[in-house]
Amino acid sequence: MTRTDLNQMSTGRTGKNERGFSLVEVMIAVCVLGVGLLAIASMQLGAVNANAKASGVSEASALAEFQMETLISLPYRFNLVNDNQNPAGLQDTNGDGTAGLLNPFPNPNLTPIFDPANLAGWIAANPPDIQRTVNTNKRDYTIFWNVATDAEINNTKTVHITVSWDDGDIGRKITMRRVIPRIS
């Protein structure tokens, strides 16, 4: 250390290049930091919303797959009356055949979004063979399916399952379709 450095330390004087930050510089730095933190908070909120939507799709897919596996495991000629406790069956109960296999919520953009108000109207116009509601700890799902005999190939049953749910202010749905062969 030089004598000048010791004098500056003892007297508290600084050279002209050793000044601190001005108030304007500190305010600008705080503003930049605030904008960055707001951007991070917005990104986190978007991630939380995306996870909530993905959770609904995952639950609906699992419900549709479980219902499909239940139907596939039934004997080909199985017919059980829908008692709302154990709704299952591989019969075209309303006789609509292949008309019941149409996509119940046609959308020209092929998105899984529909108007929840249209669900009741579609069900009234095109009743599914069997319909039930499942309540999970997060939301209510409506599961319905149609069966058509010999629609795709002779000696087969085509099953079309749709699971719909209300996701806040929009409705969502997934569909699943399988052809079940008659095995003698």
Residue 11 lies in a domain: no
Q: What is the pLDDT along the chain (184 residues), one digit of tens a residue?
A: 666 665 555 555 555 666 788 899 999 999 999 999 999 999 999 999 888 888 888 999 999 999 888 888 877 766 554 444 444 567 777 767 666 665 554 544 444 455 656 666 666 666 777 778 888 878 889 888 888 888 778 888 888 888 988 887 778 888 888 888 887 6
pLDDT for 82: 45
Q: Does 8 reside within a domain?
A: no
The two three-digit tokens of residue 5, written as one number: 């450095």
State residue 33's pLDDT score.
96
159 lies in a domain? Answer: yes
30 falls within a domain: no
Residue 12 inside a domain? The answer is no
What per-residue confidence (pLDDT) applies to 8? 59
- Give me the number of domains the chain comprises: 1
24 in any annotated domain = no
The verdict on residue 114 lying in a domain is yes
**Gap between the Cα atoms of 58 and 182, Å rounded:** 31
Q: Buried b vs exposed e over 109-139: b needs ≥16 C-beta within 10 Å?
A: eeebebebeebeebeeeeebbbbbebeeeeb
Domain membership of residue 93 (yes or no) is yes
Confidence (pLDDT) at 171: 81
Q: Check: CB of residue 157 under 8 Å from CB of residue 180.
A: yes
Q: In terms of residues, how long is the chain?
A: 184
Could you list the residue range(s) of the whole structural domain that residue 122 is in? 35-181
Q: What is the pLDDT of residue 89?
A: 65
